[in-house]
Amino acid sequence: MSVTIYDVARRAGVGIGTVSRAINDSSQITEQTKNRVLSAIRELNYQPHTVAQSLARQRTNTIGCIIPFFTGYFYMELLRGVQRETTVHKNDLILYSVDRMDKRDTYLERTLQERRVDGILLVSLEIPDECVAKFKSHGFPIVLLDGFHPELDSIKVDNVQSAYVATSHLLNLGYENVAMIAGRLSSLPARLRFEGYKQAIEDSGRTFDERIFVATAGPDDNDGFSKENGYAAMNKLLDLEGMRPRSVFASSDIQAIGAMQAIRERGLSVPGDVAIVGFDGIELASHVGLTTMRQPMVEMGQIAADRLIHKINESDNIDFKRKVSTELVVRESCGANRI
């Protein structure tokens, strides 16, 4: 019903092979016949059937992105970067969004076998070793964005270092002790941020005090970087008799925002009563004056997509691990201008 390569061939008085060559500007064709084909194409308003091309080429020019993107600004920004780069490379983007963890595995399995995409970008999600093995053995390109695995390419920030800087900032501002609101320690980034915090504390000559450290508990399977968790954690901190911290480092902006709410609800102020710095650099942070360690989200998305597509094209097996650097964005919440 719609115009195919045969129609074009007939119209141009050539074989379909020639049409194909014209489309894919092969060198195996004279400028002249190519032009003839091209005008036939234009006259017929022909456009190749992508699906047929994909089948014949064994390549879809599409990447899949598995992302828990229903959880906010951070993912949206990453996605924006991914999308941008994908478009630059004339690839399409299929979105697989994960809400529950078990879906992650489903998608990983599916994408691998369905061959609907040429490679996949796994965002902020851990990947089971057995899965890694499978992908490797199939030679199926996969890159981790905001994640890490020894055997896979990855792009992420240096969590330890960043948490270190955030904590040190507070310390340098003169706060005696810096509390921490951590995520769920079963999550790697949560652990790393904790590590950076602890290191900064110790490097400053203090000793880590677990009484002013509160991590997300409970059996849930996500990272615990939520507003509710920040709120609850801050309340615990505020309940501390006689040793209520004057400053706290929250491992995510959204936790920090929950914490700020808890603080205000007690009639206390930020940074007057407690100073706070967050982590991520989400848009909201700028609106509530939250000092934070900003991750270059869009850029990370771009780098990841670029790397993935490069890998698909060249099928190189270089070990690509990229740590991008965060940037301390100073706003009011840390009380910088008070000191």
- Contacting residues toward DNA, per CB under 7 A: 1-2, 4-6, 13-21, 23-24, 27-30, 32-34, 46, 48-49, 52-53, 55-58
**93 near its own copies, rule: CB under 8 A:** yes
- Long-range Cβ contacts of 309-317 (<8 Å, 24+ apart): 309/63, 309/85, 309/86, 309/89, 309/91, 309/119, 311/119, 311/141, 311/143, 311/153, 312/63, 312/118, 312/119, 312/141, 315/139, 315/141
Show the binding pattern over residues 152-191: x = contacts its own copies (CB under 8 A), - = does not. Answer: ----------------------------------------
In terms of phi and psi (left: phi > 0; alpha: psi -120 to 50; beta: otherwise), the region of 7 is alpha
How far apart are CB 39 and DNA at their closest, in Å?
14
138's contact among DNA, its own copies, none, with CB below 5 to 8 A by partner kind, is its own copies
How far apart are CB 97 and its own copies at their closest, in Å?
5
One-letter identity of residue 117: V
**Separation CA 280–CA 270 (nearest Å):** 19
**35 near its own copies, rule: CB under 8 A:** no
**Separation CA 280–CA 255 (nearest Å):** 11
Report the run of H or E that residue 337 belongs to, with start and end. none
One-letter identity of residue 131: C
Residue where the block lists tokens 């509710």: 228
> How many chain residues bind its own copies (CB under 8 A)?
36
Q: Which of 94, 132, 188, 328 binds its own copies (CB under 8 A)?
A: 94
Show the binding pattern over residues 97-126: x = contacts its own copies (CB under 8 A), - = does not. Answer: x------------x--xxxx----------
80's contact among DNA, its own copies, none, with CB below 5 to 8 A by partner kind, is its own copies
Q: Segment near its own copies (CB under 8 A), from 85-93, 141-149, 157-165, 312-320?
A: 85-93
Report the run of H or E that residue 77 belongs to, with start and end. helix 73-88
Q: Segment near its own copies (CB under 8 A), from 9-17, 283-291, 307-315, 329-337?
A: 283-291
One-letter identity of residue 8: V
338's contact among its own copies, DNA, none, with CB below 5 to 8 A by partner kind, is none
Touching its own copies, residues 234-263 (CB under 8 A): 257
**Separation CA 301–CA 143 (nearest Å):** 11
Q: How buried is 324 (Cβ within 10 angstroms: 0-12 exposed, 13-18 middle, 19+ buried)?
A: middle
Given a contact cutoff of 8 angstroms between Cβ atoms, the answer to whether 182 and 193 are in contact is yes
How far apart are CB 175 and its own copies at their closest, in Å?
25
Three-class SS state of 23: helix
Rank residues 113 and 313 by Cβ distance to its own copies and give the closer one. Answer: 113
177, HSE (Cβ side, Cα atoms, 13 Å)? 14
Rank residues 75 and 140 by Cβ distance to DNA and give the closer one. Answer: 140
| Residues of this chain that bind its own copies (CB under 8 A) | 2, 45, 47-52, 54-55, 60, 62, 69-70, 73, 76, 80, 83, 87, 92-97, 110, 113-116, 138, 257, 283-284, 287-288
